A and B are shown apart, each in its own frame.
Chain A
Amino acid sequence: GIQVEQSPPDLILQEGANSTLRCNFSDSVNNLQWFHQNPWGQLINLFYIPSGTKQNGRLSATTVATERYSLLYISSSQTTDSGVYFCAVENTGGFKTIFGAGTRLFVKA
């Protein structure tokens, strides 16, 4: 099956710093999505981005489907950005979603 690898596994930032999170996947996918899990466990959709680039405020994401990777950019990080960021892909069969292991981010005040 498809393998999804995220890096780095852990990241500590000073408030105001920028960061890039990476997601590599091993095969062609239908969909790709980034989620943020807050410290209370709630998973929130960030981007649905099977290809191209999208921006939402301080966050942006780029997926290069032909090279099988996606990047999530966080600029001017804030303490509320802390949590775990997951990349998830959907296989070309159309139903199964595979999650990466996540990047745990801690932003220090």
Chain B
Amino acid sequence: DVKVTQSSRYLVKRTGEKVFLECVQDMDHENMFWYRQDPGLGLRLIYFSYDVKMKEKGDIPEGYSVSREKKERFSLILESASTNQTSMYLCASRLRTQGALGYTFGSGTRLTVV
């Protein structure tokens, strides 16, 4: 069964901490994505990656960075966590050619910054 695995289901961090959210997929997908989900706003794209070592800013990249050193792993980094980054974070992957049909999502990480 193919899957996207996010390392933590729930996470509580303090303001100013550096936070790493990890995502691993076992489907050999080229494209990987990090979304943030907030009530009433749907999913908003933070960063995405076409392939290994490639990254592109999404709609709300401020305060975040990413790393894609291996094809199967896409990490989201909060350089200095702030309370307005409290949210649900969703990782997704897809094959390059499949368009929207090919999305597979992880179960999400609910991050609380105190």
Contact = CB atoms under 8 A, between A and B. Distances in A.
Interface of A: 4, 9, 30-33, 35, 40-43, 45, 48, 86, 88-90, 94-97, 99-102
Contacts of A101: 40-42
Interface residues of B, number: 20
Interface string B14-32: 0000000000000000000
Given A40-B107, A41-B108, A43-B105, A31 B42 contact: no
Contacts of A89: 100
A21 to B, nearest CB: 14
Given A31-B99, A97-B100, A9 B40 contact: yes
B42 A32 contact: no
Interface of B: 35, 40-45, 48, 58, 88, 90, 92, 99-101, 103, 105, 107-108, 110
A88 B100 contact: yes
